[in-house]
Amino acid sequence: MIFLEQQKFLLGKIVATPAALQSLSVEDICRAIDRHVCGEWGMVSEDDRAENEFALRHGLRVMSVFESKGEVRFWVLTEADRSVTTVLLPGDY
């Protein structure tokens, strides 16, 4: 559940690739989106964390990396214009 006071940016339209929908539970996706919008970037490097914080200040794309309960690694990407957030598997990119 997203608490508005913790939300760092707008998500826009939320979409997922067919592969992500097939491989991930709704619970995994929702939990990841909640964390993503609050600036909890998941399994990214320290450099990528810093890049995301820079992106928030300068209106660039942000990316988080998570792992499902079934140990499937997936990404959540919000475009620079904040119009779309996409849930996808690395192979979908």
Give the count of domains, the chain. 1
Assess whether pLDDT exceeds 90 at residue 85.
yes
Is this model's pTM higher than 0.85 or not? yes
**Percent of the chain having pLDDT more than 90?**
92
Query: Strands 84-88 and 13-16: what pairing?
Result: parallel
| pLDDT, averaged across the chain | 95
Residue 4 lies in a domain: no
Residue 73 lies in a domain: yes
Per-residue pLDDT tens over the stretch 11-46: 999 999 999 999 999 999 999 999 999 999 999 999
Joined together, the tokens standing for residue 71 give 């140990």
Q: Which domain holds residue 23?
A: 12-92
In angstroms, the Cα distances linking 7 to 23, 62, 92 are: 27, 14, 27
Residue 53 lies in a domain: yes
